[in-house]
Structures are given as C-alpha cells and as structure tokens.
Amino acid sequence: MPTTDIRQLIDLDRYPLDQPDHPVFAQLLDDGRRALEQGALFSMVRFVRPEAIAIMVRQLEALRTRSCRYEHARNAYVYDGGASDWPDDHPRALRHRCSYNQVLNYQIPNNSPLRLIYYWQPLTEFLRQLCGFETFYRSDCPHFALTSKIAGEGDTDGWHFDTNDVVFSLLLQTPEAGGEFEYAPFIRSEQDENYDGVKRVVADPQRSAVRPPMGLGDFNVFMGDLSLHRVKPVIGAQRRIVALFSYDRDPGMVFDQSYVDEMHQAMTN
Ligand SMILES: O=C(O)CCC(=O)C(=O)O
Ligand SMILES: [Fe+2]
C-alpha cells in the first residue's frame, strides 16, 4: 500500500502547521486563542480534505457493527461525583439520555488516515501552543486515545461537562437534520458551579445555548470542562460521525477506569 502524504489529508495551504515560521501559523494561533477565550470553541474550517473524509467515513462505517453501543441516561457531572443526595430537580440529579456507537482506539487501523492525522506531530505541537501548555502528549489509552462516535437516527449525546480541559473533534459526516452540537460557553467557572444557569440551559437550550455552524472536515478545539454541551438527536437515516482526539499535559495518559467500566456496562446492557 502506498504511503499517504499528509498533504493528501490536511489542507496545508490553508493550515501550514508544519511551518511554524509561516505568518499564517502565527495568525492561526492568534485567532484560535481569541476564539477559545471568547467562546470556548475554535474551529479550523475544512481542515481535512473531502477525499480523505470519504475514506475515513467508509472505514468507520465498516467498523460500526463491531463498535461499542451506548444506551443509557447519564448525569452531566457523571465523572466528578454525579448524582447522590441532590433534590430531584437539581442539575446534579438530572439524567440525560445518551445513545450512540463508539469505535474505540484499538479498533482503528494503524495505517488509517484518521490515525495518521492524530499521529502527525506538527498538529500536536500546534495544539500545545494554542492551548498554552508547556508539554502536551497524545493519550496512550488503548480505548479512548482516538475514537469515533457514530450517531444514528434518534441517537444523542446528552448534556455534560467534560473531564479534560480541552477536547478535539473532527466532524466527518452530518445527518440530514438534527445532530447539532449545542453548548453554553463558560456556564460555570472554577469558582462558581452556577447551577441556576445550568438549569436554564437544560430547560430552554434554544435561548440559553448556542449552536455554532460546524461543517464537514472542520477540526474543532473545545473547552468542555466549563461549557455544558450536548449533541441533539439525529433525524433521518444518515448518521452523524465525529472523530475525537485525546491529549494530555502528562505523558502516558489513560482514561479513568470509570470510562472503561461505563463502556462495559453499556455493552452488557
Ligand atoms: O460529538 C461531539 O461533537 C462532541 C462529543 C462530546 O462532547 C464528547 O465526546 O465529550
Ligand atoms: Fe463532551
């Protein structure tokens, strides 16, 4: 099999991440930092080329039947304590439906274009600088370092906060309708959980959350630990497919056992 040139996958003319001295590189860092500061989201529009997207979608669709099926109700704070003795209508007690398929890291072939992008060091280095971290490493997690969530008709990713500071996603297929990513930028802070604000978002997302335009091939950097977010239910037969890239400031990061337990639970339910 011929080796794939990264140029065939990423639009390097628009995103010269392998040329740190290029004026566009500095501009991207500037734009990105501002967007993250103001709205918790930075999208590199049409980062991946359409021909590469088509290959990735084909590969992921083929892996879907072997992927992990989640179908459960989850609390928005599930990984930092979750529901315990809170009143029924408290955001910490509310549960949100989640259903989707997830292709796990070890299921994605080593030579797949998706993994080539994930392993491309200039991208990791650019993201390190964008996030302002001193060190930055791809995750070593056998399950969740690189994954893909595939949502069919009616599937949704319920309201939640992420446990990692930043999440990186690549949108590969959009449904006919629905499946929008919806979020409330910086609805909480390190100091203030703002439960009333969270309640308002859940009660009336149309007014209290934003739905940024996200197109095919866009690479999105999102600060999901302070911004409540969800993926709305998919409408129609065409599935929503997104790839998720995980990194950490420390080397050798593997996700908490609770993620793996949740996955096993989902598989046996
Ligand atoms: O599917 C997406 O666009 C985001 C998924 C998400 O929020 C997550 O995996 O934590
Ligand atoms: Fe998330």
With a CB cutoff of 8 Å and minimum separation 6, the contacts of 49 are 8, 9, 10, 11, 217
Q: Does the structure show a pLDDT above 80 at 132? A: yes
* pLDDT of 1: 45
Q: Is residue 160 part of a domain?
A: yes
Best of 80, 160, 242, 262 for a ligand 1 pocket test (most atoms within 8 Å of beta carbon): 242
The mean pLDDT value for 140-156 works out to 97
CA of 49 to the centre of ligand 2 (A): 25
Largest CA distance in the chain: 59
Atom of ligand 1 nearest to the CA of 244: 9
* pLDDT of 86: 85
Q: Whose CA is nearest to atom 10 of ligand 1?
A: 162
**pLDDT tens digit sequence for 10-63:** 999 999 999 999 999 999 999 999 999 999 999 999 999 999 999 999 999 999
Q: Is residue 248 part of a domain?
A: yes
DSSP letter for each residue of 197-244: HHHHHHH-HHHHSB-----TT-EEEE--SSSEEEEPPEESSSPEEEEE
Q: Is residue 153 part of a domain?
A: yes
Q: Where are the beta strands (DSSP E) in the chain?
A: 41-44, 68-75, 95-103, 137-138, 146-151, 157-160, 167-173, 177-178, 181-184, 219-222, 228-231, 234-235, 240-245, 247-248
Q: Angle CA(127)–CA(114)–CA(243) in degrees, nearest 5? A: 75
Q: What CATH number should be reported for the domain holding residue 57?
A: 2.60.120.620
* pLDDT of 251: 94
Report the alpha-carbon distance of residue 94 to residue 88 in Å, rounded: 7
CA of 161 to the centre of ligand 2 (A): 6
For ligand 1, whether the C-beta of 229 sits within 6 Å is yes
High-pLDDT (> 70) share of the chain, %: 94
Q: Do 227 and 40 meet the contact criterion of CB atoms below 8 Å apart?
A: yes
Q: Is residue 129 part of a domain?
A: yes
* pLDDT of 80: 61
Q: Is residue 75 part of a domain?
A: yes
Q: Does the structure show a pLDDT above 60 at 70? A: yes
Amino acid, res. 172: L
Residue position matching structure tokens 């890291």: 105
Which pLDDT band holds residue 87 (cuts at 50, 70, 90)?
confident
For ligand 1, whether the C-beta of 232 sits within 6 Å is no
Q: Is residue 87 part of a domain?
A: yes
Q: Is residue 198 part of a domain?
A: yes
* pLDDT of 267: 64
**Mean pLDDT over all residues of the chain?**
93
Q: Whose CA is nearest to atom 3 of ligand 1?
A: 181
Atom of ligand 1 nearest to the CA of 181: 3
Low-confidence winner among 55-59, 75-79, 125-129, 208-212 (lowest mean pLDDT): 75-79
Element (DSSP H or E) covering residue 264:
helix 257-268
For ligand 1, whether the C-beta of 130 sits within 6 Å is no
Residue position matching structure tokens 């990735």: 56
For ligand 1, whether the C-beta of 262 sits within 6 Å is no
For ligand 1, whether the C-beta of 231 sits within 6 Å is yes
* pLDDT of 78: 72
Q: Is residue 2 part of a domain?
A: no
Q: Does the structure show a pLDDT above 60 at 83? A: no
Q: Count of domains in the chain?
A: 1
The mean pLDDT value for 179-189 works out to 97
Q: Which domain holds residue 232?
A: 8-268
* pLDDT of 88: 86
CA of 243 to the centre of ligand 1 (A): 9
